[in-house]
Amino acid sequence: MKKLGQQISIHHGNGGVQTKALIEDLFIHFFENEFLENQSDSAVLPVTGKNIAFTTDSFVVDPIFFPGGNIGSLAICGTLNDLAVSGSNPLYLSVGFIIEEGFKISYLERIVRSMAKEANQAGVKIVTGDTKVVNSGKCDKVFINTSGIGLIEEKHVSISSGIRVKPGDKILLNGPPGEHGMAIMQARGIFNFKSNLKSDCVSLFPLINEILKVSDGISFLRDATRGGVATVVNEIARKCKVGVEIDETCLPVNPDVRVMCEILGFDQLYIANEGKVIVVVDASDAYHVLNSMRKIKTGRTTEIIGEISSDHKGKVVLRTKSGGKRILDELIGDQLPRIC
Amino acid sequence: MKAGDFPFVDEYRDEKSVKKIARQIKDISKKRINLMEVCGGHTMAIHKNGLQDFLPENITLLSGPGCPVCVSSQRFVDHAIAIGRFPEIILTTYGDLIRVPGSVSSLEKEKGKGIEIRIVYSVLEALEIAKANKKKKVVFLGIGFETTAPASAATIIQAEMQKIHNFFLLSAHKVMPPALETLAKEDTQIDGFIAPGHVSAITGYGIYRKLSDVYGKAVVISGFEPLDILQSVLMLVKQIESKLFKVENEYTRVVRPEGNLKAQTLLNRVFTPENAEWRGLGWVPESGLSVSDEFSAFDATRHFLVSLPKQEYPKGCSCGEILTGKKKPSDCKLFSVVCTPINPIGACMVSSEGTCSIFYNYKA
C-alpha cells in the first residue's frame, strides 16, 4: 500500500498511473476475482435461469466508521439485503467510489477490507467498479454506490410484489428495531449518551435463505432500513390493500435503544435498521418459520409482532402497551427530540 | 427485571392498572365536561397511547397552548429572519422552529437563500458554536416555557463567566400562568386543567391557585405516562363532580410544592417579565421573558436593531381557536386539505407536539 501514499490526491482519480495503482493495489487486491482482474469496461457474467434481481443503492453515512460497522460493510450488506429480500440468491456486485481529495488511504483500506470480508462471507463477487476523486469539500470523505445481481427461483418471484399477502398472515421481525439509527446518532456524539450499542449492520442472506428453504408460505419479505419497521408495515398495508395490526407488547426491544428513545421522545419503530427483516407468512407456517429463524444468529430474537387483517384496509393499527389502539402512520419529515 | 424493562416508565403503562382507573372514571363521571391538557407532551401521550379509548363519551379532552413552537408568534420568526440577514451571523435553534411560517418566509426557506442556521439539541451547543466561531455572532432562538427558559438563563450566565461576547439570545420564552388565566377568564367551557408536569417541576403549585380559587376550575398537575394522565382525569372528575375545586398534584415523583428554587432564582436573575404575543392568544400581559438589564449585552433584541414586516396572518388558519380549545383540528377547513406536515400553514401543524400535527399523524 506504500505506493499509494498517505492520502487520496486528486491524481488518484485522473485515470493515469495513480488511478491504476489504486485499482490494482487496493481494490483488486482485496476484491480479487477473475471478472475484476480482466479490468474490462464491463464484467461479462455467466447467468443461468430466467429471473434476475437487480438493485442499486448509494451510501453516504456520517460518520463513516461507527460501532458495529462502517460505510463499506454497510454498502455491501445493504445491497445484499435488497437482493435477499427479493427472494434472490445474490451473485455479483459492482462498487463505485466517490472519494474526497485528502482522504486517508489507511481509512480507505479499512473500508475496502470490510467490504471484501462481507462479500466473501456471502459468497458474492465484486465484478466491476469505478473510482472518482473530487476536490476537497465537494463530497464528505467517501461516498459508495453498490449495485447487485441475484437469481430468483420461479416460486419466489412474487415475494417482492406481495401479491400473496392475505388476511390472517403473521408478521415476524428478526430482532429489536432501531439499533443502527441510534448507534449512528450516538457515534455522532450529539447527545452524549454512553452505551455499548452497535449498529445491526449485517447480511441477512443466510437467514432469508433458511426462511425460504423451510417454508413455501412466505408471502412478503422486506428489510426495514430508512423509515424503520413502521414504514415497511405501512407499505404492506397500502401496496397489498390489507389492514395491518401490530402488538407493541410483542416487539423485541434493545434496552439501550429503548432508553434513548424514551429520553428523546423518539419512536423506535421509525428508526433505521440495517439488519432487520419483516417476514409475512401464512399463519399455518408461522411458528415453524419462527423456530427456524431463532436457530440462526441473525434471527435469535425473532418475534411474531402482528398480523394481516381484513379490517381498516391500507392502515396500520398499533395496539399499545397500555391496551389502547392508534394508527401507526408513515413518518413525515424527521423525528426531532422533544424540547421540554 | 427483563432486558428492555424501564423502571418508573413500564409501571405507568400497565394495561391492567390503566383499565382499572378507566373503570373508576366511568363509574363516577356523570357530567358532560371539557378538560384541557395544557402541554403538548400530554396531547402527544394521549394520542400515542390511544388513551381516548378509555374515556367515557361525556369527557372531552381539549388541547391547550403548551407547545412552545406552536405559540411562537409570526413576529418572532420574522425577527429571527431579520437578524439572520445581518452579516456574519449564525442562527441556532431547536429543530421544529425552522419550519414555522413567518409573515412572508420561514427559517427553512431563508436557509436555502443563504442565512446560516444550525439546529442544536441544547442551548449549550449554541454556546460551543460561539466559542468555535469567534469572528461570527451566534444568536440562539430561545423558545419554550419555564422548562427550557432556565437552560437559556444558565447559558447566558456561562457566557458571561467565560467572557463569550459573540453569543446572543433572542428570547421568545414564555411563562404559563398568565396564559392559563387568560383562558380561564375568557373561556367558561373548560371545566378543568391537566396542568403541565414539567413546567410545574420548576414553578411549584402556587401558580395555579388563582385558577381554582378565583375561576372555579379543577386543576391537577400531571405526569406524561398513560397512568399519570388517566389518574389525573380521575382526580379532575372527582373535583368537578363534588364542586370542590383545588390544585392537586398527581406527578408527586417529580413535582414539589415549592418547585425548583435554583431554576427560579436563575430565571429571576436573567429575565424580566414583559408582554408577549402568543400565536392564538394574542398579546398576554407579563407572559414573556425578556433578557434583564444586567445581561443586556447578550440580548439579541437590543444588539440588532431591525424593522419587521407588517403582520399578515394566513387566511382560514384556525391555530388560534385550536390552541385555546375552541376548535378541534378537524373543524379547520385547511386541516389535512392544504395544511399538512409537509406544507404547514399554521404552527400547530409543524411541531411534533403541535395539536394539528398529532391529530394528523395519529388520525385522532
CB count within 10 Å of CB B84 equals: 22
Which residue's entry shows cell 400547530? B348
- Chain B residues within 8 angstroms (CB to CB) of chain A: 3-6, 9-10, 13-15, 18-19, 41, 44, 47-54, 68-69, 94-96, 99, 121, 143-145, 147-148, 198-199, 226-227, 340-342, 352-353, 361-363
CB contact under 8 A, B15 and A323: yes
Contacts of residue B23, Cβ cutoff 8 Å, sequence gap at least 6: none
CB B168 within 8 A of CB B137: yes
CB count within 10 Å of CB A147 equals: 18
Q: How far apart are the C-alpha atoms of A68 and A61, rounded to whole Å?
A: 13
For B119, name the nearest residue in chain A, comparing CA atoms only: A336
Q: How does pLDDT run across B29-76, given as a tens digit for each residue?
A: 999 999 999 998 999 899 989 999 999 999 999 888 888 888 888 899
A226 touches chain B (CB under 8 A): no
In chain A, domain spans: 2-157, 161-327
CB contact under 8 A, A338 and B9: no
Report which of residues B122 and B304 the model is more confident about. B304
Q: How far apart are the C-alpha atoms of B339 and A175, rounded to whole Å?
A: 37
Which residues are bridge partners to A65 per DSSP?
A70
- CATH label, B29-299+317-364, candidates 3.50.50.60, 3.40.50.11740, 3.40.50.300, 3.40.50.800: 3.40.50.11740
User: In a mutagenesis test of the A interface, which of B19, B21, B121 is the best target, namely the one with the most A β-carbons within 10 Å?
Assistant: B121
CB contact under 8 A, B13 and A320: yes
> Has this prediction a pTM greater than 0.90?
no
A120 touches chain B (CB under 8 A): no
CB-nearest to B50 from A252, A320, A337 is: A320
CB contact under 8 A, B144 and A338: no
Q: Is the preceding peptide bond at A67 cis, omega within 30 degrees of 0?
A: no
User: In a mutagenesis test of the B interface, which of A259, A332, A339 is the best target, namely the one with the most B β-carbons within 10 Å?
Assistant: A339
CB contact under 8 A, A338 and B15: no
CB A220 within 8 A of CB A238: no
Q: How does pLDDT run across B184-226, given as a tens digit for each residue?
A: 988 668 999 999 999 999 999 999 999 999 999 999 999 999 9
Residue B342: its pLDDT value, please? 80
- Average pLDDT in chain B: 92
- CATH label, A161-327, candidates 3.90.650.10, 1.10.10.10, 3.90.1170.40, 3.40.980.10: 3.90.650.10
Three-state DSSP state, A5: coil
The 3-state secondary structure of chain B reads CCCCCCCCCHHHHCHHHHHHHHHHHHHHCCCCEEEEEEEHHHHHHHHHCCHHHHCCCCEEEEEEEECHHHHCCHHHHHHHHHHHCCCCEEEEECHHHHHCCCCCCCHHHHHHCCCEEEECCCHHHHHHHHHHCCCCEEEEEECCCCCCHHHHHHHHHHHHHCCCCCEEEEECCECHHHHHHHHHHHCCCCCEEEEEHHHHHHHCCHHHHHHHHCCCCEEEEECCCHHHHHHHHHHHHHHHHHCCCCEEECCCCCCCCCCCHHHHHHHHHHEEEEEEEECCCEEEEEEEEEECHHHHHHEHHHHCCCCCCCCCCCCCCCHHHHHCCCCCHHHCCCECCCECCCCCCCHHHCCCCCHHHHHHHHCC
A335 touches chain B (CB under 8 A): yes
CB-nearest to A258 from B4, B95, B363 is: B4
Interface predicted TM-score (ipTM) of this complex, two decimals: 0.80
Give the H or E element holding residue A137: none
Q: Does domain A2-157 have CATH number 3.30.1330.10?
A: yes
Residue B2: its pLDDT value, please? 57
Residue B187: its pLDDT value, please? 65
Q: Are strands A277-281 and A170-173 parallel, antiparallel or unpaired?
A: antiparallel
CB A94 within 8 A of CB A128: yes
How close does chain B come to A280, measured CA to CA in Å? 24
CB B200 within 8 A of CB B228: no
Picking from A78-92, B179-193, B269-283, which range would have the lowest pLDDT averaged per residue? B179-193
CB-nearest to B6 from A191, A258, A265 is: A258
How close does chain B come to A317, measured CA to CA in Å? 10
Q: How far apart are the C-alpha atoms of B16 and A193, rounded to whole Å?
A: 33
Q: How does pLDDT run across B140-149, given as a tens digit for each residue?
A: 999 999 999 9
Which residues are bridge partners to B89 per DSSP?
B137
pLDDT tops 70 at residue A339: no
Three-state DSSP state, A246: strand
- With pLDDT > 70 as the criterion, what percentage of chain A qualifies? 97
